[in-house]
Amino acid sequence: MKVKPDLSFWKLWNISFGFFGVQIAYALQSANISRIFSTLGADPHNLSYFWILPPLAGIIVQPLVGAASDKTWTRFGRRIPYLFIGSLVAVLVMCLLPNAGSFGMAVSTAMIFGLFSLMLLDTSINMAMQPFKMMVGDMVNEKQKGLAYSIQSFLCNAGSLMGYLFPFIFTYIGISNIAPKGVVPDSVIYSFYIGAAILILCVIYTSAKVKEMPPAEYAEYHGISEEEKREKINMLKLLVKAPKAFWTVGLVQFFCWFAFMFMWTYTNGSIAANVFDAPTVENLIHGASKTMLDTKSVQYQNAADWVGVLFAVQAIGSVLWAICIPLFKNVRFIYSLSLVLGGIGFISTYFIHNQYLLFVSFLLIGCAWAAMLALPFTILTNALSGSHMGTYLGLFNGTICIPQIVAAALGGSILSIFTPQGMLPPEINMLVTAGIMLIIGAICVYLIKITKGEGEKK
């Protein structure tokens, strides 16, 4: 089997540059979805349920995209066509989703429209995101994979930084940050529009600059025989033959993505109540009076903008920590340490009532995020060999989707346990729970067996 040649820094950069635009879209989604649904009138106990469909769609779509792209060869490449299609769908949905409350629909209809828009957005973003990870596995040798995924992590966090800050910046320059009941503020709507434009431009750049390996060359560099080329894909069989790294890293992933699902769902309400003292209102839901935050209030919308700033601080922390990660030779140690720091960051939010001190918390959370973006895929792709790289990465996406589904399904019940009768739901407790989950994940890191070139040839 031939060894893949070293690539220049700029070739590695070009492979991942489109990730910058994709991550802007992902940041806008993760920072603003709970805000959008709360503005439409969602009960905090039900917020997590709105997040179930996206990962559910992802766990079905991603393995199919991975398997299909493994067998796809076009004049445009094997992964890039899926990247382009996913991006086009994401751009369309980004222009529709924030307008869910502006089409004159009833509240329930607006929520259903928003829910299916969210499902399409998350699925299309993941469809656009996955090819970048696959192209690194396809084109980059083992020696450079750490650098390639670090570049990807940097671009990811730079994109996140922009996406998180857009609503805050637009509010600062005078675009309206408040709106009538059930309508999303213009600062959020324009953020999605700008994010969509940047996404498509970045994807066009990568599509134009990157030339994927033709089939014969790919087979030489990956040791694929003619028999393997003709082999039909049996996903169950591939799972049985998956390297141990697939399952052990997947266990760590469960606790990590469970934690971050809680962050995306409950940070808005936590910061609004714990730091900005947003007023409450009594709403009648299914015949019962419930105490909820007043989403029309200036305090709530300012808190929601500040959440974008905090997520941007998290992205900065992630960029800085991503630079440090390659300096550690012991992968398990730095992976575990990163998750512990993130866990401390989540738990510390319970004790902080100053909006600026929260920067420390989210810098620490950024350490966990940096490790989650870079290390699992470095460990996994190094453990894989053969013709099914894309299929395995698609299946591995299940270790991201399943914990999100579980967290979304259990979120409302867990929050109810913390909520005294007739009181405002203490969403901050959910961030503490997220911190505990990350620390459990840090312990599980030491179960990972790091191998090279195992995969289906085991």
Find out if CATH 1.20.1250.20 is the number for domain 9-220+236-457. Answer: yes
Task: Calculate mean pLDDT across residues 246-255.
Answer: 94
Q: What is the pLDDT of residues 364-416, one digit of tens each?
A: 999 999 899 888 877 887 777 655 666 777 788 888 889 999 999 999 999 99
Examine the pLDDT at 254 and tell me if it is beyond 90.
yes
Q: How far apart are CA 25 and CA 233, in angstroms?
A: 32
Q: How far apart are CA 163 and CA 160, in angstroms?
A: 5
Share of the chain above pLDDT 70, in %: 91
Quote the pLDDT of residue 226: 55
Examine the pLDDT at 28 and tell me if it is beyond 50.
yes
**Which three-class secondary structure state does DSSP give residue 355?**
coil
Residue of 256, 298, 235 whose CA lies nearest to 70: 235
DSSP 367-391: HHHHHHHHHHHHHHHHH--SS-HHH
Quote the pLDDT of residue 386: 58
SS in 3 state form for 97-147?
HHHCCCCCCCHHHHHHHHHHHHHHHHHHHHHHHHHHHHHHHHHCCHHHHHH
Q: Which residues pair with 283 in a beta bridge?
A: 290
Answer with the residue of higher pLDDT: 285 or 126: 126
Domain ranges of the chain: 9-220+236-457
Quote the pLDDT of residue 234: 67
With b meaning 16 or more CB within 10 Å and e meaning fewer, what string describes 356-395?
eebbbbbbbbbbbbbbbbbbbbbbbbbbbbbbbbbbbbbb
Check: CB of residue 350 under 8 Å from CB of residue 431.
yes
Q: How far apart are CA 77 and CA 82, in angstroms?
A: 10
Check: CB of residue 206 under 8 Å from CB of residue 15.
yes
**Confidence class for position 455, pLDDT limits 50, 70, 90:** very low
Q: How far apart are CA 204 and CA 198, in angstroms?
A: 10
With b meaning 16 or more CB within 10 Å and e meaning fewer, what string describes 62-91?
bbebbbbbbebeeeebbbbbbbbebbebbb
Examine the pLDDT at 456 and tell me if it is beyond 50.
no
**Confidence class for position 335, pLDDT limits 50, 70, 90:** very high
Check: CB of residue 1 under 8 Å from CB of residue 138.
no
Q: How far apart are CA 436 and CA 432, in angstroms?
A: 6
Q: What is the mean pLDDT of the chain?
A: 85
